[in-house]
Each structure stands twice: as structure tokens, then as C-alpha cells.
Amino acid sequence: MSRLRAATGSVPPVLALVAVLGALLSIVPLLYLVIQATSDGLSNVATEIFDDATLALVGRSLLLCVVVTSLCAVIGTTAAFLCVRTNLPFRRILFVALALPLTMPSYVAAYAWVAERPNLAGFWGATLVLTSISFPFVMLPVAAAMRRLDSRHEEVGRSLGRTPVNLAFTLTLRQIRPSLTAGSLLVALYVLSDFGAVATMRYESFTWSIYGAYRAGFNPTRAATLSLLLVLIALAIVVGEEFARGRANLASVGSTTDRPPSTLDLHTWRWPTFAALLLVPIVALLLPILFIWQWFSEGASRNNNWSELFNAFGSTLWVAFLATAVTMLFAIPIALVAARIAKKWALATDRAVFVLHALPGLVVGLGVVAVGIRALPGLYQKIPMLIAAYVILYLSLAVGSIRASIERTPSSIDDAALSLGSSRLEVFRRITLPVAAPGILSGAALVFLTVAKELPATILLKPTGFETLATELWTRTTVFEFGAAAPYAIALILVAMIPTAFLSVRGWQ
Amino acid sequence: MSDALVLSNISKSFGSVRALDGISFSVPEQSIAVLMGPSGCGKTTALRCIAGFERPESGEIVSGEKVLSSESIFLRPEARHIGFVPQEGALFPHLTVGENIAFGLPKGRERNDRVAQVLALVELDGFEKRKPHELSGGQQQRVALARALAPRPAIVLMDEPFSALDAALRPEVCAQVTQALRAEKTTAIVVTHDRDEALSIADQLVVMLNGKVQCVGTPIEIYQQQHNDEVQALLGDAKVVRGQLQGESVTTEDGTYAVTNAQSNDGVVDVIIRKQPVSVYKPKTD
């Protein structure tokens, strides 16, 4: 992301104020989390962290993180290579099918597997679920990098006496390394912050234990301390990735050719390879859906409570709608400021939003809980607090989408309108908003769908008696009512997963 | 002198497009041959067939004693020992200049010596540690040549080597490249659509049009021949005259001209004089 643009325009002061206010407010919960963690004194924090149980926890989380990330790196790179650089049959459709598991909520996949194969619970179950839904984080950027590769480099390598296999390791792998490490970073952060899969699989990783500390003994201090430790570990991984990537400048020298990268002819291995790769979407997507369907058709005979399902359905849409509306209210000014103003405060506003997006939903949830307990007890476990957590979590989704569409139009258009006598607010209403409308709509859709499937923050902050599809599925899974859980899983796939997939497919191709 | 490379009757089609229609020519050892023609004439395809990136449908390519390509044989590019310099050089962006050049060399102590040697050859001594993006276009092109020359290939192929350079820079880089090729005693085949470039480096000119070789010979021979209209348009109007070369200038019956990069010693020479557009202005009246 180039941040070295010259100052490119102006923003109505009212909107700038809203943007800064939004960014500041979203940092508050994190501050309260720090206050909560240190409320029993700093020595207490140290005792909590260097506790044997805590260290074992760090070990278990890192183990899961390393195993899943390695598996994703191998599967993601192989899948990208096969779909982009070989003559595999149906490779375009297969590529989309391979990317789809990304839209599956982790707790839905985990529920499907643990319901069908209860002995998977634990490390291997968590590994299976997290790998199968997060390997596209590696596959998508690596495939994009492979498409951009310059075919001339390989030709030169061949003419210098290297075999294609040798070049795959000495040349291609090194050129895709930035994408590979960036994708792996996403996987590692996802694994660390995921709550649904590890909780359903009952693997005692960080998030699951934080939740346990919060719920079982209602020990908010320990929960807050562990949350901060988790944030620090995530930060360490991000910094580590910077080092792994190095300062390699991989900007291609000169213009690239129109000659597409050569494709490897698999000959007689075409169909066997296709069959092997097909196993991935079967395991990651088809089997879980099949399992859920089986439980659903069995459970249906036992007279499900349809009114509960419809209530949860309605509540989900309602909070998702509210959260989307509030998110857009802040996201549009923030995106405008980020796109049009090249000053430090604008950059800070933008960055704050993105840093918060990297935080686990559970941590943000706990931060909002801390605010509720300490500052606003009247709002604790009320809808506004739940909405606030959603807004903080997904503001960056909306900002990213809107900012891209604002940046596509030059600010000289604004200048032209100003010179024709419009006020800055009028320019915003008559020029900026209509031009950015597609970005605003797709950003809103993305936020809506993501809120609809959010689990950890919802569990922590939902009012008593208020249930969404996600919490209903969660409650039933924890008490092993797999048949009763199935309708909620299906509803989630229909409401959240299929539209997300539909929105994303164009970008993947 | 024996031939470093012989192409006989090479044909290659892409779908319904016949890119090469039975072309034949040979390149003598230690000479520079230039394939010249408009874009789409098949010159790049010919180069790619010689390198082994494309397989011809018919015909034979022989390098010295070695059959590179025939009906039954197709040697892989890495087994041909033919250097390749693509357009704009295509240096590996993640490697330093030194690592780029060493890419085709076996590991060992001589490796660094050879890298320094070829870098000196292209007048870039001491550039080993630089990254490709730190170099100018002309420097990148010379590193790409050094990389191709390093393993001492039998032949070096260059695809439009100077097309991406500033017009003002071209003659200089062109001269440096020719010098390096001659110093290494390498046979080279250069593809270009630029007439000036072709004339200034070619020992032998191969003019191609519509997938066929139209004529082969030294530039002088070619300008002395009669051609059909299409080839004539490609070559441009010119006449060949006798002249006396003396240092940086040549004297003919039409006058004295400055000369750069002369391919002959002082004395009696043949001179190609090409028609150039001239500008005409109203005379200044005081």
C-alpha cells in the first residue's frame, strides 16, 4: 500500500470529525482490557503469565499454529501450482471450489466433523478443520503471484542449463515467497484467533482457555491478561513475518511480456492428479455439508422447534442489519479521510481500524465486556454493546472496500465541483457518494454477512435470552445435541456462506 | 569458416497461422547474424525454435556436429548450450547482478572469476552486489548478455535487445554489445525490426517477411541486389558507393561523412548511404 501520495484533497470537517471519533472510540475497549488485566497489580500479571498452565497453553496454541500453517503452506502452494501452471482438467472450476471453504464458519465445519466422528475431538480435529478452511489464505495470493510470473525468466534459466524441476525450486519458489509468507501469516493469525473450531473440538488453546477463564470462574482479570498475551504473540508473528520476507525488492525489471507463464503438461498424470486434488474440496466442503444434511434429515423427524429457529433467524438478521448500518456510518468518513488526506492523523485513523481487525473476536468481545463492567454497567449485555463489538471488528472490511472505490476517481473531480460553486458537503453528497456507491454496497454486504456468522463476541455480549443462529448452533453443539443443531448449521450456510462465496468468486478468478 | 548453426526448411504454425514457412539459413562461426523483419514476420519464432522453446513441425536445426531438432530428435533447451537474451534482459529480480550471472555456472572456485571476467567484458566491473532494479536499462541489457555469455555457449540469441532503450542510448549499448560478442568469439543471432540497428551490427543479414526468408547476405550484398517492392520498402532506399575510410570519416564522390563503429580498417571501403528525410525551411529574409 503506497502511503507516499501527495495530499490529494479535502474532506468536509464534519466527516473528518466522525472519522477520528470512530477510530478513537474503537480503541477504548482495548484500553479497558489493559486496565482490567493490571487491576490486581503488575506483579499479578507476571504471575499469571509465567504460570505453568499459561506456558503449557502457549505451547499448545503454537503447536496448533505451526502444524496448521505448515499444512496450509504445502496444500495451498500445491493447489495453486496445479491450477495455474499445469494442464489439469477443469482447473478453473476446481480453483473456485478450492477457495470456497474460506467462507465456511470454523464452528460449523467443526460441528459437522465432531458430530460425525466424535473421536476426532482434540488436536487432530482442530487441525483438520482449521487446515481445511484456511489453506485458501495461502492458495489465493500464491496463485496470483504465479499468474504474474515472467515466463522469460524460466526460458533464460533453461537456456543456462537448468532443468524445469531445478528451476521450480531455485526460481519460482523464491519469486512467490513474499506471497507464500504473507498467506501463511494470515493462516497463523487466523489459527491463533479462532474460537469456534478449537472450542467445538475442545482443544485447550488460547482462545478456548480465555473463554473458560471468563465463563467458569468469572475471572475477568485472568481472561484479560491471557487476551493481551495472545495479542502480543500475534504481534510477534507479524514482526517475524516482516523478517522472513526480508527487504527483497521483487518489482519486475522492465515491462512484463504478454507471453503467459508456460504450463506444465501432466501427460498421463492429468486425471490421477485431478482426482487427488479433488479430495481437498471434498474433505473441506462436501463432507461437512453432507454430514450436516444427514443430521438434519434425521433430526427433522424428531419435531424440531421451528419457532426458535425463526426467532434466531430474525435476531441474526436484525443485529446484522443494525451493525452494518452503524459500521457504514463510521466507515464512509474513515475511508474518505484515508483516501483523500495524506496527513499523519488520517493515516493513524486508517491504521487503527486495521490493527483492530487483526484482533481476535474474543479479545475485542472481552474488551467491550471490560468497558461494560467498569464504565457502563447499564449497557452491559445490551444490544448497543454487542453492536459496538461488531463495528470494531468489521469496520476495516467496510473501509477497505469503500476506500478502493473512492481512490479510483481522481480528486480533481472534487476540485472541479468545488470550482463550480458546490460546498464540500455538497460535493460529498453529489459526487463522492454516488461514485463510491458500488464499493459502499459491497462493503455493506460483506459486513452484514460476516456479522451474521460471528460467534465469540456474540456469546460474550448477547443479552440474556437473545439468540442468533451462531449462538444457537454453539449451545446445541456444546451439549451434544447434534440433530437439533443441524437446522442452524444449514441456516448459517444459507444466510452467510453462500452469499459470501457468491460475492467473492469474481475476485478469485 | 565452418557454420555454427544451420537451419534447413524449418516450419512452425500456431493454429492456422503459419509463423515459419520452410526457412533455411546458416550462420558462420564467430559472426553476428541479424534476423530483420517487421513484427509478425516470424523472426522471434525462429529464435525460439533455435533456443528450444518451440518445437518446429518440420525441418532440421544443426549446431556444429550436434542435431538440435529434427523429425525424430528434439533437444531440450537446457541441453543445447545456447545462450538467450530476452527482450529487456529479464534479469532475475530477486538475485544480485553477480548471482544472475552465476546462475548458469557450475559451483566452484572459478565461478567468481568468470563472473568478474564477463562483467569486465560488458564494462560493468564491480557491479556484482547491485540489484537489477538499481541499474539503468542499458546496464540491465549488458548484464543479461553477460549472464548468457558466462557459461561460454556455442551461440548467443538476442531478442530485440535494444528496443526498450532510449534512442539516444542505443548506438553506445549496441557498440558495447558487439564488442563483447567479438571479444568472446561467440556466434550470435540478433532479432530486430530496426534497420539502423541491423546494419550497425550485422556480419550477415537475414531479411524475413511473412514467415519466409527473403534474402541472406552481408549488408553490402543485400543493398546491391534487386528486390521486390515489399523487401525494398523494408530495407529503405539506399545506394552503395566506394569510399575512402580515414579514422572517423569516410570520403565518397558525394562528400565526406562522419562514421561511428566502422566494421573495416582504414582504406578503400564500400559505403551504404541511405535516404533520410530532410527538413526544408523558408529562407530568412532580413
Rounded to 5°, the CA angle B163-B169-B172 comes to 105
Per mean pLDDT, which range of A94-98, A206-210, A356-360, B9-13 is the poorest? A356-360
| Count of pairs with CB atoms under 8 A, one residue in A, one in B | 88
Angle in degrees, 0-180, between the axes of helices A123-134 and A106-116, rounded to the nearest 10: 130
User: In A410-476, which ranges are E strands?
Assistant: none
- Grid cell at residue A93: 472450476
On average, the pLDDT of chain B sits at 88
Query: How many whole angstroms separate alpha carbon B166 and alpha carbon B174?
Result: 12
Contact B90 A152 (CB under 8 A): yes
Q: Which amino acid, one-letter code, is at A86?
A: T
B136 Cα to chain A: minimum distance (Å): 10
- Confirm or reject contact between B81 and chain A (CB < 8 A): yes
d(CA A197, CA A50): 26
B67 Cβ contact list (under 8 Å, min separation 6): B60, B61, B73, B75
Question: What pLDDT does A66 receive?
Answer: 96
Cα A434 to Cα A484: distance, rounded to the nearest angstrom: 45
Summarised one tens digit per residue, pLDDT across range A396-411 is 888 888 888 888 777 7
Q: Inter-chain contact A156–B90, Cβ cutoff 8 Å?
A: yes
Residue A386 has pLDDT above 90, yes or no: yes
Q: Which residues on chain B are in Cβ contact (under 8 Å) with A252? A: 93
**Strand order across the B267-274 sheet:** B255-258, B249-252, B238-246, B267-274
Distance CA A338, CA A345 (A): 9
pLDDT in tens, A141-156: 999 888 888 888 888 9
3-state secondary structure A3-16: CCCCCCCCCCHHHH
CA A303 to chain CA mean position, Å: 36
Higher-scoring residue by pLDDT: A19, A48: A19
Tell me how close the Cα of A347 comes to any Cα of chain B, in angstroms.
29
Question: Which residue bears the cell 560478442?
Answer: B181
Confidence of residue A48 (pLDDT cuts 50, 70, 90): confident
Tell me the DSSP string of A283-295. Answer: IIIIHHHHHHHHH
Query: What does the alpha-carbon distance between residue A499 and residue B2 come to, in Å, rounded to a whole number?
Result: 70
Residues A193/A359, Cβ–Cβ less than 8 Å: yes
Neighbours of A378 (CB within 10 A): 8
Predicted pLDDT of residue A47: 83
Mean pLDDT score, A177-186? 89
CA distance A485 to B246: 97
Question: How much of chain B is in helix, strand and coil states, percent to nearest 5?
Answer: 30, 30, 40
Interface test with B, best of A159, A165, A167, A264 (most B CBs within 10 A): A159
CA gap A420, A415 in Å, rounded: 9
Contact A254/B90, CB-based, under 8 Å? Answer: yes
Determine the distance in angstroms separating the CA of A144 from the nearest CA of chain B, rounded to an integer. 18
Which A residues, 155 through 194, put their C-beta within 8 Å of a C-beta on chain B?
A: 155-163, 171, 174-175
Give the Cα separation of B119 and B142 in Å (integer).
Answer: 9
3-class DSSP assignment, residue B247: coil
d(CA B277, CA B280): 10
Q: Are strands B82-85 and B155-159 parallel, antiparallel or unpaired?
A: parallel
ipTM higher than the 0.85 cut: no
Is the model's pLDDT at A249 over the cut of 80? Answer: no
Contacts of A157 in chain B (CB under 8 A): 103
* Section B139-158 average pLDDT: 92
Share of chain A above pLDDT 70, in %: 92
CB B222 within 8 A of CB B205: yes
C-alpha cell at B244: 575512402
Task: Say how far residue A448 (Cα) sits from the centre of its chain.
Answer: 14
Whole-number Å distance between alpha carbons of A108 and A469:
11
pLDDT digits (tens, 9 = 90+) for B173-224: 888 888 889 888 999 999 998 888 888 889 999 999 999 999 999 988 888 8
State the pLDDT at residue B274.
77
CB contact under 8 A, B140 and A158: no
Residue B108 buriedness (CB in 10 A; 0-12 / 13-18 / 19+)? exposed
Of the candidates A323, A394, A384, the one whose C-alpha atom is nearest the C-alpha of residue A361 is: A394
Min distance A185 CA to chain B CA atoms (Å):
21
